Amino acid sequence: MSALEKAAYRSFQAVFNVGARLLPWRRPIVVSGVGSAARIPELLRNERVARVLVVSGPTVAARLLPPILQKLDEAGIAYSLFDRVEANPSTDTVEAIRALYEAERCEGFLAVGGGSPIDACKAAAARVARPHASLAQMAGLLKVLRELPPFIAVPTTAGTGSETTIAAVVTDRATHHKYALMDLNLVPKYAVLDPALTAGLPPKITAATGMDALTHAVEAYLCWTYNTQESLRLAEEAVCAVFRFLERAYRDGTDLEARGEMLEASFKAGFAFTRAGVGNVHAIAHTLGGLYDTPHGLANAVLLPIVLEDYGKAAWPKLARLAALTGVAEQGSERERAAAFIREIRAMNLRMGIPEGFDCIREEDIPQMVSWALREANPVYPVPVVYDRARCERVIRRAMLAQAEEPAER
C-alpha cells in the first residue's frame, strides 16, 4: 500500500468525521433490571403491534422464550416464531425470517438472543423496510436509509452490543463472505437488559462474548478520529467493568450483579463503537467467522492482544491510560503500562480457557482473509495503524502461531 493510499484513507476518515457529527444519531430506549423482560408486552402495545415476529436460536427458544411468550399470550398479543437462527447467521436465514414476517403479516420484531439472532433480525427488518434492495446492496455504510418496523432487542449474552448498534453482520454461505450492514436505522427502538436472561449462559460463551464487549470498547477507544467525549467515557467505563466483572460472571453464572454489570458494559461498548467504529481485530475476526464458523467473541478474544501488540507505539498512550484506569498498571512508562494491559488481556483469556491461537486457519485461505479484512477496515475504520497486505498477513500468521512478544518500538 502506498503512502498516498494511506493518506487517502486518513482524509476519508477526517471528512467522514465532520459528516458523522451532523448525522441524526439515535439510541434505543432502555428497559433494564432483573425481571425487565416482563415489560415486553407493554412496549409492543406502545408501538401498536398486534402481531410480533419473535426471532431467536433454538437453545434460547427452549430455555428462555416460554415465559416471554406466556406474557405475550396473557397480554393478548399474537406472535409468530422463527427459532432457527444459527451462529454466524446466513443471508438465507435472513431471507427466511423476512418471508415469515410477510407471510404472517407481522407488525414488529422481537429479537431474543445473542448477536446472531439480533443481527439476523435487524437485517431481515432492513429487507422489510427496503424490499427491493438485496442484503448485498445494503452492505456497508448508510445504505438502508428507511425506518425499520418496531423493533425490540433482548440480549441474552453480554457482548455483541447489537441491541444498541448500527450494525447487522451476516454471512453469505455460498462465498463464505461475512459482511456488515451499518445504518442508523438499524439501532433497535428498544433494548431490554434483563440480567436474569443471561444467568444460565455457559462459562465458555460468557467468556467469549465478554471479550467481544472488551474488544468493542478497546477498538472504539483507539479510534483516532470519530470519538466524542461521551463515547470515550463509555468505552473507558466498559473496559473497567469487563476487567472487574467478566471473570466473576464466568466463575458464577448466577451472580446477577456481575451479569447486570456485564450487560451494561456490553451496551456501553456497543454505543462507543457505533459512534467510533471498530478496527483491525474485527476486520480479521469476521473472516474467521465466515470461513470457519469461529464464534465471533472467541475470534476477537484471541486476536485482540496480537493486534494491540502489533500496533506498537501508535496505541501506547491510550492503552497506558486504560491500564491505569483498570488498576493493571499505574506506574511506569507508557510503553510499560501498555504492555501490562495487553499482558492482562492474555492472562484473562488464559484464566477463562480461551486459546492463544487458531489451528483452523488454512494456508491457502490467507490471501482471501487479507483481502476481506482490508476491504472491511479501509477506509472506514479509523484504526491506529492502517494495515497493508503484508502487515495484515503477518498478524494472521501470529494468530496461527500465537507467539507472544513484548510490544516493539515502531
Interface of this chain with Fe ion, residues 257 to 316, rule: CB under 5 A: none
Which CB atom, from 183 or from 212, has the smaller least distance to Fe ion? 212
All 3 cell numbers of residue 363?
494456508
The stretch near Fe ion (CB under 5 A) out of 19-27, 130-138, 204-212, 310-318 is 204-212
Which CB atom, from 56 or from 116, has the smaller least distance to Fe ion? 116
Which CB atom, from 54 or from 307, has the smaller least distance to Fe ion? 307
Question: Shortest distance, CB of residue 34 to Fe ion, whole angstroms?
Answer: 26
The stretch near Fe ion (CB under 5 A) out of 71-79, 121-129, 205-213, 377-385 is 205-213
Question: Shortest distance, CB of residue 261 to Fe ion, whole angstroms?
Answer: 19
The stretch near Fe ion (CB under 5 A) out of 192-200, 208-216, 333-341, 354-362 is 208-216
Interaction of residue 376 with Fe ion, rule CB under 5 A: no
For Fe ion, which residue of 212, 236, 261, 264 counts as binding (CB under 5 A)? 212
Question: Shortest distance, CB of residue 212 to Fe ion, whole angstroms?
Answer: 4
Question: Shortest distance, CB of residue 169 to Fe ion, whole angstroms?
Answer: 8
Looking from the CA of 125 toward its CB, the CA atoms found within 13 Å total: 33
Question: Shortest distance, CB of residue 274 to Fe ion, whole angstroms?
Answer: 11
Interface of this chain with Fe ion, residues 116 to 135, rule: CB under 5 A: none
Which CB atom, from 193 or from 299, has the smaller least distance to Fe ion? 299
Q: Give the residue at shortest CB distance from Fe ion.
A: 212
Which CB atom, from 135 or from 281, has the smaller least distance to Fe ion? 281
The stretch near Fe ion (CB under 5 A) out of 67-75, 140-148, 207-215, 247-255 is 207-215
Question: Shortest distance, CB of residue 266 to Fe ion, whole angstroms?
Answer: 10
Number of residues that bind Fe ion (CB under 5 A): 1
Question: Shortest distance, CB of residue 38 to Fe ion, whole angstroms?
Answer: 29
Which CB atom, from 212 or from 344, has the smaller least distance to Fe ion? 212
Which CB atom, from 36 or from 266, has the smaller least distance to Fe ion? 266
Question: Shortest distance, CB of residue 355 to Fe ion, whole angstroms?
Answer: 18
Sheet of strand 167-172, all strands in order from the earlier edge strand to the far edge: 140-141, 177-182, 167-172
Residue numbers at the binding site for Fe ion (CB under 5 A): 212
